[in-house]
Structure 1
Amino acid sequence: MANFDWHAERSDLSGIALLDRAPESEGIDLKAVRLYRLGQLRKEMAKRGVGAVILSDPINIRYATGTRNMQVFSMRNAPSRYLLVTEAKTILFEFTGCLHLADGYETVDEVRPAMTASFVAAGPEIAERERKWAREMGDLIASLVGKGAIVGMERMNAGTAIAMKEEGFTIVDAQEPVEMARAIKSDEEMKCVRASLRATEVGVHKLRNALRPGLTENELWSVLHKSVIEQNGDYCETRLLNAGERTNPWFQETANHVIGENELVALDTDVVGCHGYYSDFSRTFHAGPGKPTDTQRALYQTAVEQVYHNMGILKAGMSFRDYADRAWDIPAKYYANRYYLSSHGCGMTGEYPYLYHHGDFPDAGYDGVIEAGMTICVESYIGEEGGREGVKLEQQVLVTDSGIELLSEFPFEESLMDSGFDAPFPLPKI
């Protein structure tokens, strides 16, 4: 990457300037990325006759506009920042004192202060605040798309949706048009995905190099988080790094557990990284100083086989049901502790579609079509019920018209690999 002169233009270091001029943005037309994403959302709204959507999820606001502001805070304080999108206009309602953060974004037509419709802001007057919020929002939407329009809403307190309905609008869930919009990535958008992955891989390399018995899980996990922040990523969405007995079953949060000698250490990155894109791959390491046991190697190799079988069947035009029918058959001794999904969509976070295991499809699965432009994370967790350790592996791929492209390039552990394994795609190597 070429050297970047941070001091070349210091006249405007607010709003869009720092984000668009950051080193990881070199070679990416972020204006084209933003306009494509907003166009995708409007296209999916039009398909469903939705006249307006009110987005409160900060990930979806960033998808539609590129703007970001206190994302974790906004996730738990949804009414404090929201975005109105219609066919012809976008209005960002920004948190108090933050209106300048949207300066320069071609995807934002207007910025207004948000009316925080929450109990902590309004106290016992919350019901009246919600009605006032709905009256003002309803008048605005009516002036833009007409009274009685179909309005998609996201997670806000229930009173706002009830009050909007009382204003005469047909209220629907905004999730469907947003998720369908996000599912297909543009070529320029994929540059953002790759930039986020490369930065996350730097962090995982640092974590791998720091790994040693005697560290706590928290100490080791913090190496990745520090690197993500240093490289202008946003945050780690989960705390999924475990060692030894805490690798089985999966989904135990990183803690002050001390990593022991020769234990397995499993990591799922779940990084909301550069440009807000999700870097989602999983690796399992061996802590040393000795060699892995036969049991550890068998667990690892089984996980590799599951991931690469399911990568091998992915293709554009395949139905979700067909994928489930053809996916790797999990051995009975690992079935109870299986990962809850076989694969899932990935963009700015985990997203549509969810692809289920064959055995789970009748109860949880739904049908659809895998399309070119989808980024998919192929999952495996292998650990016996009641067993001591488990292995978590995951690869992030792009579905293309001619097959798939492996996106996650961080190497596998050669000491845990079966050298005779014939992978349908090149294995990432050191």
Structure 2
Amino acid sequence: MESKEWLKSFSKEEYRKHIQKIQEQLEKEGLDVMLLSAPENIFYATGYRSWYASSLFRPVFVFVPKEGEPAIYLRILERTTVENTSWCKNIYCSGSEERHLGNLNAKDPEEALRKFISTLEYPVKTIGIEEGDGLHYFWPLHILKELISKMSDCLEFVDGSRVIQKARMIKTEWEISKIEEACKVTEEAIVDTFATIRAGITTEKDIAKGIASRMTAKGVDRISYLTVNSGKDKYHTFNSYATDRVVQEGEIVLVDISGHIDGYASDLTRVMYVGIQPPQKYVEMANVAKECIHAGIKKLVPGTKLSEVSDAIEGYLKNARCQVLHTSGHSVGLTVTEYPNITGDSEEIVQPGMVFALENGVYPFDETIGASSIEISFRMEDEAVVTETGARWLSGPGKALYTMDDF
């Protein structure tokens, strides 16, 4: 029989690693089953990925037990996609009987969960759900409310955020390779698009379109973040969509971009001066933005608290007499921003296999007015993976400030 492993999202060995990590965390947290609803968590636990999740009228759930194989519940028409893309063999399907589409073995999520629990060789009392910061229950809330209400006689639904957060926190070599590939493609798309910018002609939307088209041409299958800021009316904004505004000579263009390859994300920020010779103060501020994250990667060593990494980045900015406006980075994986964050109060310990987007910037503003008075923005963001001895860059590291003279 012809092998169909090319249809799978990732190898069976990779799948086993993911399940093992979830089950280890279930044991540590004292939970019996993890209920997953978010597409990225479903993908992580099974390999199932489909555009089907774009409709919030058709819920999908995955049940991961602390022992044994996981199960998935969804509509019958998606069964073949599950069989193609995932390693999950326990499939519970609902649908319309009169259409004769196949074996309907669960009329709703409640019946699927009850049937699945009955197959387990241990008593189930606690179900973890995606409840904490950085996670989200994905489907209409009434479905979860009904599930909890109908099963409250025998089960307790509790916050299981740490289970999936901790499982996904340490990346496998395959995951790291995908993030690195996404970073490379994103970097090339940004630089190649910067080369096309023409003062008085190019719009922010032209820049966004150029980056997006180059990313997709080189394998990015989803873009989840595409910020383009230019000119004094947008220097004080951080997450704006591109506009029809035409960029002008002497302005700064800041782009913050994330694209996914096989589920895994990049997250890079780059800045360009629209001209040949930028003012010296621009060069100095851009270099501070770059060097602050380089100070951070030097602290990204196993055994270090993430708060110390944050202190290194923020400390560099303060020593350069720059205000600190935001936190200094976050983990990256199946989502652009995931646990843990690089903050001054983080107690999480740096471990090999963690992947971070290190970021911060220089944003001069009038403190008597606030952030709305930011007069210009220089931010740097690059990704790094923690190794046994320190960390290495997965992107760039990028140039502090591009100019038209670079092209």
The alignment's TM-score, normalised by the length of structure 2, stands at 0.81
1:138 aligns with 2:114: yes
1:317 is matched with 303
Alpha-carbon distance, 1:70 to partner: 1.6
Alpha-carbon distance, 1:32 to partner: 2.7
Alpha-carbon distance, 1:143 to partner: 3.8
1:32 to 3, 9, 13: 13
Give me the whole-angstrom Cα distance separating, in 1, the residues matched to 2:112 and 2:90. 16
1:73 aligns with 2:61: no
1:283 aligns with 2:262: no
1:377 is matched with 357
Give me the whole-angstrom Cα distance separating, in 2, the residues matched to 1:71 and 1:225. 23
Q: Is the contact made by 2:305 and 2:346 (CA closer than 8 Å) also made in structure 1? A: no
Give me the whole-angstrom Cα distance separating, in 1, the residues matched to 2:188 and 2:280. 30
Q: Give the letter aligned to residue 49 of structure 1.
A: G
1:227 aligns with 2:214: yes
Deviations 1:117-148 (A, max 9, x none): xxxxxxxxxxxxxx964355234324436565
1:150 aligns with 2:126: yes
Give me the whole-angstrom Cα distance separating, in 1, the residues matched to 2:250 and 2:257. 22
Deviations 1:224-264 (A, max 9, x none): 22233333423221231111221323222322222122211
Aligned length: 372
- Counterpart of 1:83 in 2: which secondary structure? strand
Alpha-carbon distance, 1:200 to partner: 2.3
Q: Is the contact made by 2:73 and 2:112 (CA closer than 8 Å) also made in structure 1? A: no
1:294 aligns with 2:274: no
- Counterpart of 1:317 in 2: which secondary structure? coil
Alpha-carbon distance, 1:199 to partner: 2.5
2:27 is matched with 46
- Counterpart of 1:295 in 2: which secondary structure? helix
1:185 aligns with 2:171: yes
Give ranges in structure 1 of 5+ residues lacking alignment. 1-8, 21-28, 117-130, 417-428
CA, structure 1 residues 235+191, in 2 after alignment: closer, same or farther (shift >3 Å)?
same
Give me the whole-angstrom Cα distance separating, in 2, the residues matched to 1:114 and 1:297. 60
Give me the whole-angstrom Cα distance separating, in 2, the residues matched to 1:109 and 1:176. 26
Bigger mean CA deviation after superposition, 134-143 or 375-384: 134-143
CA, structure 1 residues 406+366, in 2 after alignment: closer, same or farther (shift >3 Å)?
closer
CA, structure 1 residues 200+259, in 2 after alignment: closer, same or farther (shift >3 Å)?
same
1:247 is matched with 235
Deviations 1:100-131 (A, max 9, x none): 11224563112333579xxxxxxxxxxxxxx9
Q: Give the letter aligned to residue 185 of structure 2.
A: A
Alpha-carbon distance, 1:370 to partner: 0.9
Alpha-carbon distance, 1:387 to partner: 3.5
Aligned pairs for 1:210-221 (under 5 A) are 210-213=196-199, 214-221=201-208
Deviations 1:37-83 (A, max 9, x none): 22211221122222211211101111112221127615xx2862221
CA, structure 1 residues 104+133, in 2 after alignment: closer, same or farther (shift >3 Å)?
closer
CA, structure 1 residues 322+393, in 2 after alignment: closer, same or farther (shift >3 Å)?
closer
Give me the whole-angstrom Cα distance separating, in 2, the residues matched to 1:401 and 1:204. 31
CA, structure 1 residues 161+192, in 2 after alignment: closer, same or farther (shift >3 Å)?
same
CA, structure 1 residues 305+115, in 2 after alignment: closer, same or farther (shift >3 Å)?
farther
Q: Is the contact made by 1:345 and 1:354 (CA closer than 8 Å) also made in structure 2? A: yes
1:409 aligns with 2:396: yes
Give ranges in structure 2 of 5+ residues lacking alignment. 97-106, 131-136, 366-372
Alpha-carbon distance, 1:188 to partner: 3.0
Alpha-carbon distance, 1:407 to partner: 0.8
CA, structure 1 residues 392+115, in 2 after alignment: closer, same or farther (shift >3 Å)?
farther
Alpha-carbon distance, 1:172 to partner: 1.5
- Counterpart of 1:107 in 2: which secondary structure? coil
Identical residues among aligned pairs (%)? 19
Give me the whole-angstrom Cα distance separating, in 2, the residues matched to 1:284 and 1:197. 16
Give me the whole-angstrom Cα distance separating, in 2, the residues matched to 1:212 and 1:413. 20
Alpha-carbon distance, 1:355 to partner: 1.4
Q: Is the contact made by 1:266 and 1:391 (CA closer than 8 Å) also made in structure 2? A: yes
1:83 to 56, 62, 72: 62
Aligned pairs for 1:254-273 (under 5 A) are 254-271=242-259, 273=260
2:370 is matched with none
Q: Is the contact made by 1:268 and 1:280 (CA closer than 8 Å) also made in structure 2? A: yes
Give me the whole-angstrom Cα distance separating, in 1, the residues matched to 2:160 and 2:220. 27
Give me the whole-angstrom Cα distance separating, in 1, the residues matched to 2:53 and 2:203. 25
CA, structure 1 residues 309+241, in 2 after alignment: closer, same or farther (shift >3 Å)?
same
CA, structure 1 residues 175+412, in 2 after alignment: closer, same or farther (shift >3 Å)?
same
Give me the whole-angstrom Cα distance separating, in 2, the residues matched to 1:303 and 1:78. 44
- Counterpart of 1:103 in 2: which secondary structure? helix
